[in-house]
Amino acid sequence: MLITGARMWYAINAIRLLARNGHDVFAADSSKFSGGLYSRYLKGKFVYPSVSDDSEGFINEILEKTDEMKIDVIFPTFEEGFVISKYLHLFEGRVKVLVPSYDHIKLLHDKFTMTDYARSLGICVPRTALLGEFEPNGSSFPLIVKPRNQRSAEGIVRVTSSKEFEKISKALDGKRFLVQEWKPPHQICTTGLAYNGKMIGNVIYKNVREYPESGGIGTCRISIECDSVLRDVEKIVGNLNYSGFISTDFLYDKERDAYFLVDVNPRMSPGLLVAYCSGVDMVKAYMDLVTKNRAEQIMSPEVGNGTYTTAMEIGWFFSVLFKGRFGKMKGFFKSRKRLRDDSWDIRDPAPFFVMLMSMLYTAILGPLKGGQTKSFSLGATCDIESLCEEADSNEVRKAV
């Protein structure tokens, strides 16, 4: 089987779990400096064209390599799954893969349409408007301005005054950015796997730390229980008859004692190993679904389990250090007791060091390339708007 998006640490987790269960595992990414490409458990690997800049070239390469390497299953981990979903008809009869429908990806990845849709289901969401249609007079600050399509807190700006809002709004595309009421940064995340409108497995967890430290990707996480969040995720899955991985972010408003949905990622996320440590093996469930069209439901994960990503924790540490925010370092080591490292494995050490170098690079030079998380994901993201406008080229059709 083939793991794509090999730079992601949860892709490394999937590689190790699958190999230890007796599967022949291949891995690929658009960057040769992807940690998963250096796992000792691989039967083979390759580098494909940039998902961000050459989606058709990416599809052609995947199709050619799956034929050449006799790969029977693909396990997407990041936004390359969005492109695979768009061209899913090219994979039918050649290789098995489970991804959400492209219509569901478009609906949920766009934070404006997702927010409107979630509200229609009775799910709590922050007040939201397109930037170009928002009237700041009479509004209370702070407010959040963010792109409709983004990941890992990229491009989010906290605006504290009308003057600041006026300056920012003039520099941004009013149709591509949102204005949203501010909520306290008490974030709750979920990672789940669904099939034909039913949850197969799901874990809810809170981030102890995030990279960058101002808000982004969790670097240390602990599983918790939250029935209201689970019900909201199940509403979306059931209403859409959704299949595939689904990950969400909620913010807890203490004054209203409510969880507000702010993000839905129709893909895998860092909760994969948190779920595994909590008794929910979504890697096995995924394999059962693509090979048998069924999987055992595991909906009661143990709480209090968690993971930390040492390579990203070091990136977090240096990021905080360089910014002089020393107070955030308090309790750094104590918080990781009894948690599992999801990047280091003494039996498979190379991915850790590759990922560590990548994190150090983004911590130091990332701000010069558009941000720490953006520099890490270069070549791996999918611009939904551009992909929607793309027509199938002769090059892609030749791959059929």
Q: What is the mean pLDDT of residues 140-152?
A: 86
Q: What does the alpha-carbon distance between residue 306 and residue 335 come to, in Å, rounded to a whole number?
A: 11
Confidence of residue 47 (pLDDT cuts 50, 70, 90): very high
Instruction: State if pTM tops 0.75.
Output: yes
88-97, 167-176, 201-210: least confident range: 167-176
Q: Which residues contact 340 (CB under 8 A, 6 or more apart)?
A: 273, 277, 305, 306, 307, 308
Angle between helices 111-120 and 102-109 (to 10 degrees): 90
Alpha-carbon distance of 395 to 180, in angstroms, equals: 41
What whole-number distance in Å separates Cα of residue 286 and Cα of residue 270?
16
State residue 163's pLDDT score: 87
- Give me 222's structure tokens: 């602990």
Neighbours of 135 (CB within 10 A): 8
Is-contact 42 25, C-beta < 8 A? yes
Instruction: Identify the pLDDT of residue 196.
Output: 97
Confidence at 275, pLDDT banded by 50, 70, 90? very high
Position 391 scores a pLDDT of 47
Alpha carbon distance 95, 343 (integer Å): 29
**Is residue 334 within 8 Å of 328, Cβ to Cβ?**
no
Task: Tell me: cis bond preceding 367? Omega within 30 of 0 counts.
Answer: no
**Overall average pLDDT of the 210-220 stretch:** 76
pLDDT confidence of 68, banded at 50, 70, 90? very high
Distance CA 130, CA 214 (A): 24
Whether pLDDT at 172 is above 80? yes
Is the pLDDT confidence value at 333 over 90? no
